Amino acid sequence: MSELVYAGRIPRQIDERVKRRDGAKLRPGALVRYQRIGLEKHPGSNYRFELDDDGSVRLARHSGDSSNWQTPFDTDLPAAPTAVLAAERVAAVRQALADAHFGDEPPYQVGRTAKGGKVEVVTARAGKKAHEVLYENARNPLLDLLAAVAYEVEEAG
């Protein structure tokens, strides 16, 4: 786990790509939304997914068109699931959220790494409300697990 250099409120002067993140409400049945937003001028590495309580995952990658590099996502999440995770994997995500005390996490966290890199945005249900945390160049077990889920979904597809 990386040490944090900042954990607190979202700064007013935040990168435009992060401002343009997917801020839609979580759909009924959605457990978590994960967004990976690169802080380089080539958005082709950006992706996001939503994981539902039943294991359904909808994943969308940026098309790679860098003509409007400040738009983090230029493709919609698909209507039909990209893959379905096993119940054990969904339980692992739930447990990682609980272990992180996700609902109590500060909304913006910066890791002790070089400038640039990426911002990972996690939106998940915390009780009856959804909570969102922006992690800039940070690492923790929850982020590692969600990145692994995206990899697994792509490998399955």
Domain harbouring 88, CATH code: 3.30.1560
Write down the pTM of the prediction: 0.94
- 77, 51 Cβ separation under 8 angstroms: no
For 79-114, the pLDDT digits (tens) are 999 999 999 999 999 999 999 999 999 999 999 876
Total number of domains in the chain: 1
Q: Residue 117 and residue 69: Cα distance in Å, rounded?
A: 15
Q: Residue 72 and residue 103: Cα distance in Å, rounded?
A: 25
Q: Which domain holds residue 87?
A: 4-156
Question: What average pLDDT does range 113-126 have in this prediction?
Answer: 88
For 32-75, the pLDDT digits (tens) are 999 999 999 899 999 999 999 999 999 999 999 999 999 999 99
CB atoms within 10 A of CB 41: 9
